Amino acid sequence: MAPTGLTKNLKADYGLVDDDAKNNQSETFRKAIADLAAKGGGRLIVPKGTYRLANVRLMSNIHLLIEKDTVIKPDWPKGSKTVVFSLDAEQPKKMTKGQEGAFIENVSIRGLGGRWTVDYSDRFPNKGEGVRGVLGRMVKNFLISDMDVKDNCTVYCGMTLSPTNTNIKDVTKWEVSRATDGTIRNCRIFNGSPGYGLVQLHGAQNVHFEDLYADGGVTLRLETGAVGLHTGVYNITGKNIVCENGRCAVMMGPHSAVNGKVNVENVTTRGCTYAVQLGLGGVKEAQLKLDPHAKPGSFAKGSSIKNIHAEFGMNAQLKKHSLQMVPEANFKHLRLWYDSKFFSGPSIAPVYDGSEARYEVIIENVTSEGFEHDEKIVTAEDARPGKWSNSFDDWKSEYGIKEVERPVPVKN
């Protein structure tokens, strides 16, 4: 963002109304963004208020400055999926020659004087519905900061970074083919879904994450897309990544993507299943239809996660598939989620390495407190023999179905 430049106010200059999110005012944002972009870009101030928005696409050289304590609620019809802010060029799957590789650049969404909030805590998690606060795709040189997400265990992460969704197979000569050269800092999510969390990376390059927090779910999820032509992350760095009562702070899962280096330091969890979870690569049938030569993915040599601290807790979010890692003595503490996919229960270990040596991530300086065992890093070899499904049946038989109640939407 230039030290000086054109500045407009969405209320004073474009008629934005603080109507407690009664009406969708996305068109006001779109008009202001287009107007400012036509003049070379600049700052667009969002005054403190409560607004309803969806599918607001930034353009090059636009910087949204959202005043402290502003609340944005998605315009999100039942049965649909939506995004609040999109950092992406308009790029259809079937492109003309001039549209190939189009991207926006030099954009930001940041707080003005403090944090701002995207709030969809008033929604149940329902099948066929999903929401994201920010989606970044064909964008270069970007910043997202000071954003809080109030969730209710809904589908999708608060932020997602993705590759181009074109059907063109060779994009190696494009200047940008995914979210590139960015920083995401000082952001949080509350009541995140165990299947999602704060940030999901399907495609990103040269992106730094700092001072991130998740209450529930996964804070920084480097689980590259299971199906797609251009998934993959390269040169990703992170610092000060925290999670409470969730699955983990950092998750790495390559699926079939051959990823570059990932280097993260200062990871802290309180009451999570793990602090760090490394997953095994694998190829789905749908991916083989796109790429018959696809193989299990990996992360580049030199990837590392350093300075990890995990505190034991009783409200971790555990996937049923991890039952063989749970000591049988702790089965009595498990509470099944309403969706029958996850448990709430005791933490398992600071680090789970499920890579099976197919790729290497350097793990250094792991500390913990409150765990009954001393193992800092566990692997599939530490699992009890048998199938998790049989253990699940045994648990149901012995302890009954002790369910966690379906999340109750907050009345706003």
Task: Tell me the residue length of the chain.
Answer: 412
Q: Give the torsion sign (CA, 368, 370, 373, 379).
A: negative
* pLDDT the model gives residue 2: 80
Structure-token pair, residue 405? 């109640």
pLDDT at 3: 77
Residue ranges for the chain with pLDDT beneath 70? 91-98, 402-403, 405-412
What structural domains and CATH numbers belong to the chain? Answer: 7-93+101-285+295-399 (2.160.20.10)
Residue found under tokens 């499904």: 389
142 touches 184 (CB < 8 A): no
CA–CA gap between residue 95 and residue 98 (Å, rounded): 8
Q: What is the pLDDT of residue 282?
A: 85
Q: Kindly write down the DSSP assignment for every residue of 181-232, as one continuous string.
A: EEEEEEEEEES--TT-EEEEESEEEEEEEEEEEEESSEEEEEE--SS-SS-E
Q: Judge residue 390's burial from the number of C-beta atoms within 10 Å of its C-beta, 0-12 exposed, 13-18 middle, 19 or more buried.
A: exposed
Q: Which residue in 230, 229, 225 sits closest to 255, CA to CA?
A: 225
pLDDT of residue 338: 84
| Cβ burial 128-167 (10 Å sphere, 16+ → b, else e) | ebbbbbbbbbbbbbbbbbbbbbbbbbbbbbbbbbbbbbbe
Task: Give the model's pLDDT for residue 406.
Answer: 66
Q: What does the longest C-alpha to C-alpha distance in the chain come to?
A: 69
Whole-angstrom CA distances from 135 to 10, 200, 400 are: 22, 10, 41
Q: What count of Cα atoms within 13 Å lies in the side-chain half-sphere of residue 6?
A: 14
Q: How far is C-alpha 50 from the chain's CA centre? A: 24
Residue 371: how many other CB atoms lie within 10 Å: 16
The confidence score (pLDDT) of residue 92 equals: 64
Half-sphere exposure of 364 toward its Cβ, with a 13 Å CA cutoff?
10
Bridging pattern class, strands 81-87 and 147-150: unpaired
Return the ∠ at Cα 234 (arms to 111 and 129), rounded to 5°.
Answer: 60
pLDDT of residue 412: 41
DSSP state of 349: -
pLDDT at 283: 82
The two structure tokens encoding residue 180: 């590139």
Q: State the first-to-last Cα distance of the chain, in angstroms, to the nearest integer.
A: 34
**Contact at 8 Å (CB) between 241 and 266?**
yes
The pTM for the full model equals 0.95
Residue whose tokens read 């702070």: 249
